[in-house]
Amino acid sequence: MSDKIPVTVLTGYLGAGKTTLLNRILSEEHGKRYAVIVNEFGEIGIDNELVVGADEEVFEMNNGCICCTVRGDLIRIIEGLMKRKGKFDAIIVETTGLADPAPVAQTFFVDEAVQDNARLDAVVTVADAKWLKDRLKDAPEAKNQIAFADVILLNKTDLVSKEEVEDVEARIRGINPYARVIRTVKSQVPLSEVLDRGAFDLDRVLEIEPAFLEAGNDHHHHDHECGPGCTHDHHDHDHGHDHHHDHGHSHDGLKHYHDEHMKSVAFNIPGDVDPEKFIPWVQDLAQSDGQNFLRWKGILAFKGEPRRYVFQGVHMILDGDLQREWKPGEKRESRLVFIGRDLDEAKLRAGFEATAA
Amino acid sequence: MSSPGLTDTSLADHIRPVAADSHVSASVFLGDVAAFALGDGTVILANGATTSRVNVHPDSAILVAAADGTHLVTGGDDGRVVRTSATGETEEIVRVANGAWIDAVATGPDGAVAWSAAKQAHVRDGKGNVFTLDIGSSGRGLAFAPKGFQLYIARYNGVTQWFPRTQGKPKEVTWKGSHIDVTASADGRFVVSTMQENEMHGWRLADGANMRMSGYPSKVRSMSWSFDGKWLASSGADAAIVWPFMTKDGPMGKPPLELGIRPSRVERVAFHPKAPVLAVGYKDGCVLFVRMDSDDEQILQARAAGDGGAVSALAWNADGMMLAFGTDEGAAGVLTLPKV
């Protein structure tokens, strides 16, 4: 993708298993050198010159964007790490269990020097299979961390029944169907599944159709996701119900949950969009509605452009560029996904569809 | 005296290259010895044709450095502040608790040294007394005032003016936002900071009047005062942005000069210590001298754009006959101006 250093942001509520994962990353033989920015030195039992303590200095930028907060300490640390360029391959940023991931993510889009040298690879959230459901009820941070994630490790699955795992995963998907969910025990996951993913996880924006296949650990089940054309009522309480849409998959009674405020919507244009219309639209949208968007991502076919335009946003901050070419035989289409609070689906759809070429 | 900008000799022939092979965090002169503080923790001392390398921060990176003409003071990501002499003797000034990174260092009168780490600023005076101040946020920039024993500390939401030897609350000037570095005018009337945003901010200390110095396309990372104190040059645009400070209002309501416009970003600026000449280092590695006392700016190329990345360090020696430069990918050199 580029020679920018990939950065993985590791979030997760207290006790979910973040430190276990970090210790594995630092101790296993994987041929890669990671600089790790941690909050608590003490938790990491490994002496490593590339483990850096952070002190979570969140501050506002004076750019007229009220939710544009960044982590000043991260800017400083990444600038410092760049003086050791060549000594490490990637950066991992651990956030505290109670942290809002937005300032961390925004740091990688706002600060020019950070952006020149590093790119946000993925937000990885470690979730506790036993306690996540409770945290989603009583801890807004936990919900934000799920909504923000590109990859979710659903950890400690050995401590709950299979049904409970299915249930908690359904709740995750009710908030964020676009994250890849990996079920783990003791944070045991091949590190290549969570680190240095490139744009791979963003590609899920295109892959996830209104109904998509999800391979479970021990059996196949078909999962239904809300996407374009989703017409469910978004109730203000959890509800489990069977779906029998006529898209050919058999459902095995998997539950679906919708969160009252936090949800995701996706829109598809089966062809090109006009960048002259699309770019001004997203810029205006960032100003008017960005506060409600935790993440928004898109892969777009720009009229007359052989390369895919890939963009992602955090609240009011947007970052996009032209990446690889559309492959021969690959269908040119434009897809946009929003994860956020109180989304006005009709307005977003109308706005996006008006940018069609 | 000879000064740069008046000769058409090719200056490239007068550069003695120094193989730094690591990010050059700073270059300074200790007398006529050029010192380069590097990202691999070493310091290179270049004395004429002789260069030596001192491992000042083993297995660490030098993040920040300052010098007082006789000693180089470096702060590392090993949490140490070390003072190095022109002959390579080192003295560890401090090793901060928990290995916190050193955020900034400064040198002051009578061998005083200041450093900041973990939201505290510290000063060690020439007699060895150490003073500490809690600043509530990271102290990203430090500068001793030109007169008296006082330290300016750039921090979140303003600059602290600290008199370490006096009890009582330090003075403060405030402006919302994160302030990265700080400098004071030689007459002590103005303090100027660089910010996280693409701007500088100035205060007239007499009345606390604010001066917004904005319009930069990039973050300002380098500031330098002219020898007569009348101008403050800055990086962050495709020219050196030079603000006028000769009147009592400073740059208020006055446009800055733009010197050395090129299709590359200015990364470092360093005014000549005796002449109205500014050395300008660019992102593409080019270094120019710009003479600013005539109506047309006179420009002389000191180093061509090329390998090694952006200019990350630039310093004159005391008589202005030598310039030490370094880049972020490990190129460095000493230019000795030809006598004319």
> Could you give the 3-state DSSP secondary structure of residue A164?
helix
Do A35 and A91 meet the contact criterion of CB atoms below 8 Å apart?
Answer: yes
What confidence category does residue A243 fall into, taking pLDDT thresholds of 50, 70 and 90?
very low
Residues on chain A touching B101 (C-beta within 8 angstroms): 52, 76-77, 80
Q: How far is CA A141 from CA A218, A337, B211, B304, in A?
A: 31, 21, 40, 52
Q: How far is CA B43 from CA A73, B100, B267, B329, in A?
A: 26, 21, 22, 15
Residue A245 has what pLDDT? 37
Residue A204 phi/psi, 5° resolution?
-60, -25
What confidence category does residue A65 fall into, taking pLDDT thresholds of 50, 70 and 90?
low
Test B77 with A80 for CB contact under 8 angstroms. Answer: yes
Find the CB nearest B197 among A63, A73, A83: A63
List the strands of the sheet with B151-162, edge to edge.
Answer: B141-144, B151-162, B171-184, B190-195, B200-204, B209-213
Which amino acid is present at B93? I
- Interface A:B, Cβ pairs < 8 A: 68
Test A83 with B39 for CB contact under 8 angstroms. Answer: yes
pLDDT at A43 over 60: no
Test B101 with A85 for CB contact under 8 angstroms. Answer: no
Residue A42 has what pLDDT? 56
Strand partners, B171: B161
Interface check A40 vs B, CB under 8 A: no
Which residue of chain B is at minimal alpha-carbon distance from A41?
B98
Transcribe B227-296 into DSSP letters: TTSSEEEE-SSSSEEEEE-SSTTTTTT-PPEEES--SS-EEEEEE-SSSSEEEEEETTS-EEEEE-SSSS
Residue A197 has what pLDDT? 82
CB within 8 Å of chain B, chain A residues 108-167: 111-113
pLDDT at A49 over 50: yes
Test B119 with A84 for CB contact under 8 angstroms. Answer: no
Distance CA A268, CA A352 (A): 9
Structure tokens at B183: 């400098």
Do A81 and A93 meet the contact criterion of CB atoms below 8 Å apart?
Answer: no
Do A312 and A202 meet the contact criterion of CB atoms below 8 Å apart?
Answer: yes
Do A158 and A217 meet the contact criterion of CB atoms below 8 Å apart?
Answer: no
Place of tokens 């319009």: B215
pLDDT at A115 over 50: yes
Place of tokens 């030809």: B338
Candidates B174, B178, B201, B221: best to mutate against A (most CBs of A within 10 A) is: B178
Residues on chain B touching A75 (C-beta within 8 angstroms): 196
Phi-psi region of B103 (alpha: psi -120 to 50; beta: other; left: phi over 0): alpha
pLDDT at A224 over 80: no
Contacting A with CB below 8 Å, chain B residues are: 22-23, 25, 39-40, 59-63, 77, 98-101, 103, 118-119, 137-138, 140, 156, 176-178, 195-197, 218-219, 328-329
pLDDT at A239 over 90: no
Distance CA B154, CA A218 (A): 57
pLDDT at A12 over 50: yes
A8 to chain B, minimum CA–CA distance in Å? 22
* pLDDT > 70: percent of chain A: 79
Mean pLDDT (whole number) for A304-319:
90
Structure tokens at B173: 């000037």
Find the CB nearest A59 among B22, B101, B178: B178
Interface check A73 vs B, CB under 8 A: yes
Distance CA B148, CA B164 (A): 11
Test B196 with A57 for CB contact under 8 angstroms. Answer: no
Place of tokens 């979030």: A11
Average pLDDT, chain A: 81
Q: Give every residue of chain B whose pLDDT is below 50, as ranges.
A: 1-8
Which residue of chain B is at minimal alpha-carbon distance from A116?
B218
What confidence category does residue A69 fall into, taking pLDDT thresholds of 50, 70 and 90?
confident
Which residue of chain A is at minimal alpha-carbon distance from B77?
A80
B261 to chain A, minimum CA–CA distance in Å? 21
Picking from B237, B230, B303, the residue whose alpha carbon sits closest to that of residue B4 is B303
Find the CB nearest A83 among B25, B156, B176: B25
A80 to chain B, minimum CA–CA distance in Å? 6
Find the CB nearest B63 among A49, A57, A83: A83
Test A112 with B99 for CB contact under 8 angstroms. Answer: no
Which residue of chain B is at minimal alpha-carbon distance from A107?
B196
A49 to chain B, minimum CA–CA distance in Å? 8
> Could you give the 3-state DSSP secondary structure of residue B26?
strand
Burial A130-164 (b: 16+ CB within 10 A, else e): bbbbebbeebebbbbbbbbbbbbbbbbbeebeeee
- Give all domains of chain B, ordered by start, each with its CATH number: 11-336 (2.130.10.10)
Residues on chain A touching B158 (C-beta within 8 angstroms): none
Distance CA B7, CA B3 (A): 9
Residue A160 has what pLDDT? 94
What confidence category does residue A2 fall into, taking pLDDT thresholds of 50, 70 and 90?
low
Structure tokens at A192: 């290549």
> In terms of C-beta density within 10 A (0-12 exposed, 13-18 middle, 19 or more buried), how is residue A277 classed?
middle
Distance CA A221, CA A170 (A): 12
Distance CA B260, CA B22 (A): 27
Place of tokens 């502040």: B81
Q: How far is CA A30 from CA A119, A153, A192, B262, in A?
A: 21, 19, 9, 45
Residue B131 has what pLDDT? 97
Mean pLDDT (whole number) for A133-151:
90
Distance CA B17, CA B44 (A): 12
Largest Cα span, chain B: 57
Interface check A56 vs B, CB under 8 A: no
A196 to chain B, minimum CA–CA distance in Å? 24
The answer, yes or no, to whether ipTM is higher than 0.90 is: no
Residues on chain A touching B23 (C-beta within 8 angstroms): 82-85
Transcribe B44-82 into DSSP letters: EEEETTEEEEEESSTTS-EEEEEE-SSEEEEEETTSEEE
Test B25 with A62 for CB contact under 8 angstroms. Answer: no
> In terms of C-beta density within 10 A (0-12 exposed, 13-18 middle, 19 or more buried), how is residue A323 classed?
middle
pLDDT at A238 over 70: no
> In terms of C-beta density within 10 A (0-12 exposed, 13-18 middle, 19 or more buried), how is residue A14 classed?
middle
Kindly report the CA angle at B203 between B202 and B205, in degrees rounded to 5?
150
Test B99 with A111 for CB contact under 8 angstroms. Answer: no
Mean pLDDT (whole number) for A288-307:
92
Do A1 and A119 meet the contact criterion of CB atoms below 8 Å apart?
Answer: yes
Mean pLDDT (whole number) for A280-299:
92
Place of tokens 């310093």: B315
Do B288 and B260 meet the contact criterion of CB atoms below 8 Å apart?
Answer: yes
> Could you give the 3-state DSSP secondary structure of residue B97?
helix
Residue A258 has what pLDDT? 67
Candidates B43, B138, B196: best to mutate against A (most CBs of A within 10 A) is: B196
Do A92 and A37 meet the contact criterion of CB atoms below 8 Å apart?
Answer: yes
pLDDT at A250 over 60: no
Mean pLDDT (whole number) for A1-6:
75
What confidence category does residue A260 fall into, taking pLDDT thresholds of 50, 70 and 90?
low
Test A73 with B138 for CB contact under 8 angstroms. Answer: yes
Residue A44 has what pLDDT? 58
pLDDT at A46 over 80: no
Instruction: Characterize the bridge pairing of strands B322-327 and B287-291.
Output: unpaired
Which residue of chain A is at minimal alpha-carbon distance from B140?
A76
Distance CA A103, CA B307 (A): 35
Transcribe A37-72 into DSSP letters: EES-GGG-----TTEEE----EEE-SSS-TT-EEEH
